[in-house]
Structure 1
Amino acid sequence: MIIKVHELESEIEFVADINDQKDCLMSQDPTQDNPGALWFNIDIPKGHTLRAGDRVRITIEKL
């Protein structure tokens, strides 16, 4: 049974080059003053074609 825990839509602020095999997509609350703000840092394989400014949807599921 798969349980959807949360879904987040956000703009990618930065794509970091981690190594030859992966990058890291980042979106962070710049102030950290808003306790309700959600952000992400997610490593993904190279070849994704994503860049700063692209909007993404991240779904967290419990398997």
Structure 2
Amino acid sequence: MHKIEFESSIEFVADINDEKDCLMSQDPTQDNPGALWFNIDILKGHPFRAGDRVRVIVEKIE
């Protein structure tokens, strides 16, 4: 199993459409190899707001 896990703050929540929002956190430097960022669409009705600290886990399912 391959797994990547990191913690980051949500930079902003974008309104995609009537059903989805997008949680985003981006590193403006992109040159920092230690800075990881995310852009994840999720269903509306979630409790997430800009500034919330979250854990992102990406796991390859074999």
TM-score (norm 2): 0.89
Q: Quote the offset at 1:33 in angstroms.
A: 2.4
- Structure 1 unaligned residues grouped into runs of 5+: none
Q: AA paired with 2:44?
A: K
- Structure 2 unaligned residues grouped into runs of 5+: none
Runs of 4+ in 1 over 3 A off after TM superposition: none
TM-score (norm 1): 0.88
Alignment of 1:18-29 (within 5 A): 18-29=16-27
Q: Distance in 2 between matches of 1:11 and 1:57?
A: 9
**CA RMSD between the two structures:** 1.1
Identity of aligned residues (%): 77
TM-superposition CA deviations, 1:6-53 (whole Å, max 9, x none): 001100000000000000000000122213321000000000110000
